[in-house]
Amino acid sequence: MASVSNERDNTGSSNQMWGGRFADGPSAIMREINASIPFDKALWRQDIAGSKAHVAMLAQQGIVTAEDAATISDGLDAVAAEYEADGVPEDWDLEDIHMTTESRLAQIVGPAAGRLHTARSRNDQVATDFRLWVREAIDQADAGLLALQQALVTRAGEHAGSIMPGFTHLQTAQPVTLGHHLMAYYEMIRRDRSRFADARARLNESPLGSAALAGTGFPIDREMTSKALGFDRPTANSLDAVSDRDFALDYLMAAAQCSLHLSRLAEEMIIWASQPYGFVRMPDALSTGSSIMPQKKNPDAAELVRGHSGRIVGCATALMVTMKGLPLAYSKDMQDDKPPVFEAASLLALSIAAMTGMVADATFNTDRMRQAAELGYATATDLADWLVREADIPFREAHHITGAAVKLAEAQGVALDQLSLAELQQIDSRIDDRVFAALSVDASVASRASYGGTAPERVRQQVAAARMALGMEE
């Protein structure tokens, strides 16, 4: 009978059932499954910074001599210079970035290197490094989103008075302005930036000095390392500090929600760029041709932004499920926290950049948009509102009368304001010729001047306030 784990053959070399490509048996499997260096080498800058802060503190507290600390600190600079020049070497036996750096440090400075890890564990070390990395990712996302907002606001200012159909259920509903539509995305991105800012504020506590899980008996100064690394304060509970990945989840969830917004904007651009709409021409630089159909210009960048949002949401889900049910404190599952965060960060940065370019350089076909607004009976609500206002008809009845007018116009294949007064009066005698002023798309948008509404004057105010908030006014 074949046994999956053959205990007598613990080299595994001859076990075809599970040895497979691991010619050296279980030890090779352990080496590979344990190694995080292939991905956590991305933390090298943060790891060096954390170690330098730690060793400076050890010296100040008299835990290592000033001389050893200087040797170690200079050695860390030398390791950093090597990484910068040649990249981080990937030796699976050294497992991760922490051991890789310490081992290289020992080769460069000798036995003094052994004192660096005093009063520290890889558990508080990796928690510190990762917080520093995520903090930078948040700052980068924020800078990218600011640029996207600036592009949105600039285009919205140009098109504060450009009329297009507004949709509900993707059916023409009421005329709006393109500026108003673009400013809707400005608002979404404003909330995204605020979510990232919240995440950053909660993240900014230093786990360093929590050691393996219980703190340390050495007289360390956690305030000092916290300050040196730009944190607001040290974390208050060592068990929590080494096992907490909320900061990564906060980041991923903010990234996921942001990616949903980018995906919605991408989707609108895709729809608007399709020939039956023809509302927008995508920038050439963010489109591709077809290898077989010469007339085609495909919105691939927008489609990939839409696709990437699925992957970013997947990253958030992956880490949530990884963390679920882990007992305190550190467990090795937590090493799997990094790939989803790294993946989401690079997908998000690309998506933000692509949408910024698309918004900044798209050509809007405003004639076509206006035409579509005029064709879709988008001012039907204006007719109903007019009947309420000018003829004192209850709204429900006005709605009914308007329905009849739309039906007639549809049958004749004309717009509402192309029906004659006689035809309108046939439907309801209380209609008079003042109604035509209310039926144009221009009158319709101009009338929606309630706060937050689509009237061009309102949109200009929204744009002005946004420009001020973004520091675009000198």
Rank residues 125 and 365 by Cβ distance to ligand ARG and give the closer one: 125
CB of 229 to ligand ARG, least distance (A): 18
The H or E element containing residue 437 is helix 435-439
**Number of residues binding to ligand ARG, judged by CB under 6 A:** 10
For ligand ARG, the closer CB: 126 or 431: 126
Determine, following the binding rule CB under 6 A, whether residue 126 of this chain makes contact with ligand ARG: yes
If we measure between CA atoms, which residue out of 151, 179, 152 comes closest to residue 163? 179
Query: Among the candidate windows 75-83, 121-129, 248-256, 399-407, which touches ligand ARG by CB under 6 A?
Result: 121-129
Exposure string of 393-418, with b = 16+ CB inside 10 Å and e = fewer, is: beeeebbebbeebbebbeeeeebbbe
Give the distance, in angstroms, between the CA of residue 14 and the centroid of all CA atoms in the same chain. Answer: 48
Q: How far is the CB of 153 from ligand ARG (least distance, A)?
A: 41
CB closer to ligand ARG out of 88 and 424: 88
Residue 102, C-beta contacts closer than 8 angstroms, at least 6 positions apart: 113, 116, 117
CA distance 108 to 102: 10
Positions of E strands within 249-368: 280-281, 288-289, 297-298, 363-364
Q: Which tokens sit at 39? A: 């991905």
Backbone φ and ψ for 99, nearest 5 degrees, come out as: -75, -30
Contact string (CB under 6 A) for ligand ARG, positions 312-331, x = contact: ------------------x-
Provide the β-strand partners of residue 167.
Answer: 172
Instruction: Choose, by CB under 6 A, the member of 15, 206, 243, 335 that binds ligand ARG.
Output: 335
With binding defined as CB under 6 A, does residue 262 bind ligand ARG?
Answer: no
Nearer to ligand ARG, 46 or 123 (CB): 123
Q: How far, in Å, are 331, 344, 397, 400, 435 from residue 432 at the CA level?
A: 77, 60, 17, 17, 6
Binding to ligand ARG by CB under 6 A, coded x per residue (else -) over 26-55, reads: ----------x---x---------------
For residue 43, the minimal CB distance to ligand ARG (Å) is 9
- Near ligand ARG in 129-158, by CB under 6 A: none
User: C-beta of 133: minimal distance to ligand ARG in Å?
Assistant: 12
Active site residues: 169, 290
Residue 67 burial by Cβ neighbours in a 10 Å radius (0-12, 13-18, 19+): exposed
* Of 35 and 373, CB closest to ligand ARG: 35
Q: What is the DSSP string of 94-125?
A: G-SHHHHHHHHHHHHHGGGGGGTTTT--HHHH
The total number of residues shown for the chain amounts to 474
Our finding on whether 120 is near ligand ARG (CB under 6 A) is no
C-alpha span between 162 and 151 (Å, rounded): 17
Residue 174 or 335: the one with the smaller Cβ distance to ligand ARG is 335
Interaction between residue 200 and ligand ARG (CB under 6 A): no
Interface with ligand ARG, residue 123, by CB under 6 A: yes
| Residue at token pair 């080769």 | 107
Nearer to ligand ARG, 123 or 172 (CB): 123
Contact between 402 and ligand ARG per CB under 6 A:
no
> How far apart are CB 101 and ligand ARG at their closest, in Å?
12
Bridge partners (DSSP) listed for residue 297? 289
Closest contact distance (angstroms) between CB of 250 and ligand ARG is 19
Q: Residue 334, interface with ligand ARG (CB under 6 A)? A: yes
d(CA 251, CA 312): 11
Q: What are phi and psi of 308, to 5 degrees?
A: -60, -30
Least Å distance between CB 212 and ligand ARG?
Answer: 7
Phi, psi angles (nearest 5°) of residue 347: -65, -40
Q: How far is the CB of 321 from ligand ARG (least distance, A)?
A: 17
Of 322 and 356, nearer to ligand ARG (C-beta) is 322
Which position among 58, 71, 88, 96 is part of the footprint of ligand ARG (CB under 6 A)?
A: 96
Binding site for ligand ARG (CB under 6 A): 36, 40, 96, 122-123, 126, 330, 332, 334-335
